[in-house]
């Protein structure tokens, strides 16, 4: 039996569901029951009936699934698959900011720890951040932790005062305006799609600013035949799979999220076999964080 067959057999035996983010390696994406962006994965994890969820992604995503489905067992196959962006803000720092701006609501990007979500009023993802900030019933917002997504939101919601935490994603921060201008010259007929975690000057010069699921949907319906993609290189696999008649290129050289690539087929098999590494969160954290996550779904 090869490793893929082993995984499928274990999955059936344990009545497990495998979820994978769009940045996972192609072999994992192809084996998963559902592949999506952060918002789709959050919504999907809530709907699942199976008792066991194996989350191929990074820790904050598996934690989000646990918060939304606390009675299910949620596993993260690669123990150290974290998100450096999520680590840029600590609970004490957020508490200090809240104390300084008591009239503001805290809107936290899902790329945060469960503890930060528990201290937030509402969460958002890259695909709904603008809508969430527009719809919160206050004029002042503390937006954490991504400065580039925060700037994108501030540009699109000028009627609100937004205090932006200065965290960033080291993968998306690598895309430059020079790369974008060179790509435009080389492929003038191609559309440029970038993730809102890219630097503001890159976002301003792109044709479309989209979450990973937004890129997939856009590529399918666009009349363009070629696309330059400013996000983690794992995206190209799904874009090519879903729009096989179109061409996709990374913006500049390919950029890789090391943590997203930590999940291998071996780790997925061992995770299923040994039911490791289980996401374990305090009940109080789950209760508070789920209010912020459920509100996100209410505000979009």
Question: What phi and psi, each to the nearest 5 degrees, are found at residue 144?
Answer: -130, 155
Cα–Cα distance, 157 to 138 (Å, whole number) = 12
Among 28, 39, 58, 239, the residue binding ligand SF4 under the rule CB under 6 A is: 58
Applying CB under 6 A, the span of 246-254, 256-264, 265-273, 288-296 interacting with ligand SF4 comes to: 256-264
Q: Is residue 179 a contact residue for ligand SF4 (CB under 6 A)?
A: no
Q: Is residue 125 a contact residue for ligand 13P (CB under 6 A)?
A: yes
Cα–Cα distance, 67 to 22 (Å, whole number) = 21
> Which residues ranging from 190 to 249 are in contact with ligand 13P (CB under 6 A)?
197, 211-212
Select from ligand SF4, ligand 13P, none the partner in contact with residue 63, using the beta carbon and a kind-dependent cut-off of 5 to 8 Å: none
Q: Is residue 37 a contact residue for ligand 13P (CB under 6 A)?
A: yes
Select from ligand SF4, ligand 13P, none the partner in contact with residue 65, using the beta carbon and a kind-dependent cut-off of 5 to 8 Å: none
Nearest distance in Å: CB 114, ligand 13P: 16
Closer to ligand SF4 by Cβ: residue 112 or 120? 112
Q: How far is CA 40 from CA 10, 66, 119, 214, in A?
A: 25, 15, 23, 11
Among 38, 45, 88, 267, the residue binding ligand 13P under the rule CB under 6 A is: 38
> Which residues ranging from 144 to 183 are in contact with ligand 13P (CB under 6 A)?
169
280 CB-near residues (< 8 Å, 6+ apart): none
Among 84, 131, 140, 233, the residue binding ligand SF4 under the rule CB under 6 A is: 84
Q: How far is CA 266 from CA 5, 83, 167, 274, in A?
A: 12, 21, 33, 12
193-205 CB burial, b ≥16 within 10 A, e <16: bbbbbbbbebbee
Q: Is residue 169 a contact residue for ligand SF4 (CB under 6 A)?
A: yes
For 81, the token pair is 């698959």
186 CB-near residues (< 8 Å, 6+ apart): none
Select from ligand 13P, ligand SF4, none the partner in contact with residue 22, using the beta carbon and a kind-dependent cut-off of 5 to 8 Å: ligand 13P
Q: Is residue 28 a contact residue for ligand SF4 (CB under 6 A)?
A: no
Closer to ligand SF4 by Cβ: residue 52 or 251? 251
Whether 41 contacts 293, CB under 8 Å = no
Q: Is residue 24 a contact residue for ligand 13P (CB under 6 A)?
A: no
Query: Does the CA dihedral 76-82-86-89 come out positive or negative?
Result: positive
Q: Is residue 260 a contact residue for ligand SF4 (CB under 6 A)?
A: yes
Cα radius of gyration (the chain): 19
Nearest distance in Å: CB 85, ligand SF4: 4
Cα–Cα distance, 109 to 182 (Å, whole number) = 31
Closest CA to 296 of 139, 138, 122: 122
Q: Is residue 133 a contact residue for ligand SF4 (CB under 6 A)?
A: no
Question: What phi and psi, each to the nearest 5 degrees, are found at residue 104?
Answer: -95, 155
> Which residues ranging from 207 to 246 are in contact with ligand SF4 (CB under 6 A)?
232
Q: Tell me which residues touch ligand SF4 (CB under 6 A).
A: 58, 83-85, 111, 169, 171, 197, 232, 257, 259-260
Q: Tell me which residues touch ligand 13P (CB under 6 A).
A: 22, 37-38, 111, 125-126, 169, 197, 211-212
């Amino acid at each position: 039996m090869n490793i893929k067959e082993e995984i499928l057999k274990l999955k059936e035996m344990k009545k497990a569901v495998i979820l994978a983010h769009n940045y996972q390696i192609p072999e994992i994406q192809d084996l998963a029951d559902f592949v999506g962006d952060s918002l789709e994965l959050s919504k999907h994890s809530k709907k699942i009936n199976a008792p066991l969820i194996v989350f191929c992604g990074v820790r904050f995503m598996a934690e989000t699934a646990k918060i939304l489905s606390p009675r299910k067992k949620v596993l993260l196959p690669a123990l150290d698959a974290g998100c450096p962006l999520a680590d840029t803000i600590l609970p004490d720092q957020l508490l200090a900011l809240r104390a300084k701006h008591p009239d503001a609501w805290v809107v936290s990007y899902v790329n945060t720890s469960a503890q930060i979500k528990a201290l937030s009023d509402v969460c958002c993802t890259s695909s709904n951040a603008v809508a969430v900030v527009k719809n919160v019933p206050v004029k002042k917002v503390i937006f954490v932790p991504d400065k580039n997504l925060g700037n994108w939101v501030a540009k699109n919601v000028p009627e609100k005062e937004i205090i932006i935490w200065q965290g960033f994603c080291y993968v998306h921060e690598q895309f430059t305006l020079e790369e974008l201008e060179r790509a435009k010259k080389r492929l003038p007929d191609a559309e440029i799609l970038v993730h809102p975690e890219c630097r503001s000057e890159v976002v301003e010069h792109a044709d479309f600013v989209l979450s990973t699921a937004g890129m997939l949907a856009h590529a399918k319906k666009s009349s363009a035949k070629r696309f330059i993609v400013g996000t983690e290189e794992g995206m190209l696999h799904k874009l090519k799979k879903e729009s096989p008649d179109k061409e996709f290129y990374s913006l500049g050289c390919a950029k890789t999220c090391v943590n997203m690539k930590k999940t291998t087929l071996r780790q997925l098999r061992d995770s299923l076999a040994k039911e490791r590494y289980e996401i374990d969160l305090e009940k109080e954290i789950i209760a508070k964080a789920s209010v912020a996550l459920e509100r996100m779904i209410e505000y979009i």
